[in-house]
Amino acid sequence: MSGRKPTDEELRARLTPEQYQVTRQRGTEPAFTGGYYHSKDTGMYLCVCCGEGLFSSGTKYDSGSGWPSFWQPVAAGKVESRRDASHGMIRTEVRCGNCGAHLGHLFDDGPQPTGQRYCINSAALDFRPKPERR
């Protein structure tokens, strides 16, 4: 499905209520509850809405924040950011560069080499494991 922008009707039918609330209504899953928070598997994290590859497991790290954290996207343009002044604070929202799904927020307190922390909701992600070599 990568590259194609699903309709709202398709997403309502396919996503769980939590996935829909996070990605389409800019929600946030409770800290320390997401399915990918503790994951150490090797592979690619995809947008749950359109299947676009967003983050490599090689850039995932434990930030202690309660959400999966990455220090950079897999490639330029895979995610986009915009100012978010909701909830009485100013933050940088992160969205899928392909379909615009809300993913989470970006902070400038991450590790080197970027110093950034992409704090992403597990509900906004799908995971494709890296195939094992034989």
Q: Indicate which residues carry an active-site annotation.
A: 119
C-alpha–C-alpha distance, residues 47 and 27, integer Å: 15
Neighbouring C-beta atoms of residue 6, cutoff 10 Å: 18
> For the sheet containing 79-84, what is the strand order?
60-61, 69-70, 117-120, 102-107, 91-96, 79-84
Residue 106's closest CA among 94, 95, 123? 94
Pair 55, 97: CB distance under 8 Å? no
* Pairing, β 125-129 against β 117-120: unpaired
Measured in residues, the chain has a length of 134
